[in-house]
């Protein structure tokens, strides 16, 4: 009761733990308060079979320099995602394989795909991740969905379907759920659609040897007893003296507070005095995507033997993307897939046996009969995690998220 520090940080995910670390480096005292009984937020590492695996965020791309630097400092090593061999593309019931970035397609489709990608690149480069509303035409782009915007330059249903699979995997949402502006801003921040969707040279390029949650665990260790787990902050009360973070069990005081929960969860905290109407409206419009991570382990990496990298992009689902997920030392072969977007919203409502059956069916389509014989089947529905309510990211689902943000600055 009555613990106090210079700053109370709400949330012990990567943002909260990094904020705490930086503040402490500047000499401030900090207490981090976390709702879960663990640190790491949307990262979660577990021992499964003979390997260490992530049931949450797990990859790091070449553009994520700050996370690379942090991992280096903490002595956490990375290793490359396996990408040798053929990739699989499944669109509208048809499976094809390819080797480079661009799938094998009919020549007209290939030309349209290349055209679409280069148009995307040209437009996204104009949308600053730090000030998207200042771009020319930003209002119009934010006033329409990615679905209608795209329909003006992608006419082939095959190409839209393939793009949809990547969009689902990146946002946990459908093209109809995203404002075109939000999509382009995110693309620009992440180096483009291919870069966000790809393993080699892209956002899925590397993995952490001890799992992604190890970063948060190492940061938590530095914090020592300045970290309180299992304490959802219900109310933040600000007065002349500072801020009180009220939990069911105790109240933690600070001169300042930093809330690192995603906007939608931050909106479920009570504020006294209340936050501005503009801010509250943003939290109402910053929905989390829907994402279920599915991990299957095998005795042998039979797909590698058959010349597959393990990479799949599918418009048909239930897995929109699949990657090789074999453990670092090679001892535990595994594949990982994502059920994302509207399919994820109803995934857990189906019986486990049906879910397993559908995943097995999909993997068999891509890699043959052997893919149906898992050692273990594990999944985590991030929408069912009370302190995440979805994933991989939030926002962009309400058209006026950015308007809301702009308004709330006033």
Applying CB under 8 A, the residues found at the interface with a copy of itself are 142-145, 147-148, 173-177, 234, 264, 267-268, 270, 274, 276-278, 280-281, 284-285, 287-288, 290, 342, 344-350, 381, 383-384, 386, 389-390, 397-400, 403-404, 407-408, 410
- In the complex, minimum distance from the CB of residue 381 to a copy of itself, in angstroms, rounded to a whole number: 6
Measured CA to CA, the distance from residue 199 to residue 204 in angstroms comes to: 4
User: What is the DSSP annotation of 144-180?
Assistant: SBHHHHHHTT---HHHHHHHHHHHHHHHSS-GGGSBH
- In the complex, minimum distance from the CB of residue 142 to a copy of itself, in angstroms, rounded to a whole number: 7
- In the complex, minimum distance from the CB of residue 350 to a copy of itself, in angstroms, rounded to a whole number: 8
- In the complex, minimum distance from the CB of residue 204 to a copy of itself, in angstroms, rounded to a whole number: 24
Could you tell me if 27 and 5 are in contact, meaning their C-beta atoms sit under 8 angstroms apart?
Answer: no
- In the complex, minimum distance from the CB of residue 380 to a copy of itself, in angstroms, rounded to a whole number: 12
Which of 71, 90, 87 is CA-nearest to residue 79? 71
- In the complex, minimum distance from the CB of residue 82 to a copy of itself, in angstroms, rounded to a whole number: 31
Measured CA to CA, the distance from residue 357 to residue 264 in angstroms comes to: 33
Q: Which is nearer to a copy of itself, 174 or 198 (CB)?
A: 174
Q: 273 burial class (0-12, 13-18, 19+ CB within 10 angstroms)?
A: exposed
Q: Which is nearer to a copy of itself, 253 or 267 (CB)?
A: 267
The torsion angle over the Cα atoms of residues 366, 372, 376 and 379, rounded to 10 degrees, is 50
Q: Which is nearer to a copy of itself, 278 or 372 (CB)?
A: 278
- In the complex, minimum distance from the CB of residue 41 to a copy of itself, in angstroms, rounded to a whole number: 17
Measured CA to CA, the distance from residue 90 to residue 270 in angstroms comes to: 46
Q: Which residues of 353-386 are buried (b: 16+ CB within 10 A; e: fewer)?
A: eebbebbbebbebbbeeebbebeeebbbbbbebe
Q: Which is nearer to a copy of itself, 95 or 277 (CB)?
A: 277
- In the complex, minimum distance from the CB of residue 403 to a copy of itself, in angstroms, rounded to a whole number: 6
Could you tell me if 317 and 294 are in contact, meaning their C-beta atoms sit under 8 angstroms apart?
Answer: no
Measured CA to CA, the distance from residue 298 to residue 373 in angstroms comes to: 7
Q: Which is nearer to a copy of itself, 102 or 384 (CB)?
A: 384
Q: Which is nearer to a copy of itself, 138 or 215 (CB)?
A: 138
Could you tell me if 76 and 215 are in contact, meaning their C-beta atoms sit under 8 angstroms apart?
Answer: yes
Tokens of 3: 């613990």
Measured CA to CA, the distance from residue 272 to residue 321 in angstroms comes to: 43
Q: Which is nearer to a copy of itself, 46 or 407 (CB)?
A: 407
Instruction: Count the Cβ atoms, other than its own, within 10 Å of residue 347.
Output: 23
- In the complex, minimum distance from the CB of residue 398 to a copy of itself, in angstroms, rounded to a whole number: 5
Phi, psi of 178 (to 5 degrees): -110, 140
Q: Which is nearer to a copy of itself, 191 or 390 (CB)?
A: 390
Measured CA to CA, the distance from residue 396 to residue 214 in angstroms comes to: 29
Q: Which is nearer to a copy of itself, 32 or 291 (CB)?
A: 291
What residues contact residue 275 under an 8 Å CB cut-off, 6+ apart? none
Instruction: Count the Cβ atoms, other than its own, within 10 Å of residue 299.
Output: 12
């Amino acid at each position: 009761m009555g613990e106090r520090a210079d700053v109370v940080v709400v949330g012990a995910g990567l943002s909260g733990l990094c904020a705490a670390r930086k503040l402490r480096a500047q000499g401030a005292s900090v207490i981090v308060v976390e709702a879960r009984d663990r640190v790491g937020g949307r990262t979660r590492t577990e021992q499964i079979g003979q390997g260490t695996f992530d049931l949450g965020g797990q990859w790091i791309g070449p553009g994520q320099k700050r996370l690379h630097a942090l991992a280096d400092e903490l002595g956490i090593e990375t290793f490359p995602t396996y990408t040798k061999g053929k990739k699989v593309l499944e669109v509208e019931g048809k499976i094809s394989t390819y080797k480079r970035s661009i799938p094998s397609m009919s020549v007209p489709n290939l030309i349209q795909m290349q055209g679409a990608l280069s148009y995307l690149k040209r437009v996204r480069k104009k949308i600053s991740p730090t000030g998207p509303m200042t771009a020319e035409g930003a209002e119009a782009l934010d006033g329409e969905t990615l679905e209608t915007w795209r329909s003006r330059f992608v006419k082939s249903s095959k190409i839209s379907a393939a793009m949809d699979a990547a969009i689902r995997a990146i946002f946990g949402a459908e093209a109809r759920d995203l404002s075109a502006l939000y999509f382009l801003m995110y693309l620009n921040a992440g180096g483009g659609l291919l870069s966000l969707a790809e393993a080699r040279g892209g956002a899925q390029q590397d993995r952490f040897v001890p799992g992604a949650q190890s970063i948060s665990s190492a940061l938590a260790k530095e914090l020592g007893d300045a970290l309180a787990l299992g304490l959802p902050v219900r109310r933040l009360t600000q007065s002349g003296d500072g801020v009180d973070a009220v939990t069911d069990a105790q109240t933690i005081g600070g001169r300042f507070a930093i809330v690192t929960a995603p906007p939608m969860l931050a909106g479920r905290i009570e504020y006294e005095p209340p936050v501005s109407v503009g801010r509250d409206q943003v939290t109402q419009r910053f929905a989390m995507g829907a994402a279920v991570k599915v991990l299957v382990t095998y005795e042998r990496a039979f797909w590698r033997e058959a010349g597959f990298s393990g990479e799949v992009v599918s418009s048909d689902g239930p897995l929109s993307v699949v990657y090789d997920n074999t453990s670092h030392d090679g001892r535990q072969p595994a594949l990982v897939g994502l059920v994302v977007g509207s399919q994820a919203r109803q995934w857990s409502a189906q019986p486990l046996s049906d879910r397993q059956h559908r995943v097995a069916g999909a993997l068999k389509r891509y890699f043959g009969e052997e893919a149906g014989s898992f050692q273990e089947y594990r999944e985590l529905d991030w929408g069912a995690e009370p302190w995440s309510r979805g994933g991989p990211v939030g926002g962009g689902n309400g058209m006026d998220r950015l308007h809301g943000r702009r308004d709330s600055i006033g």
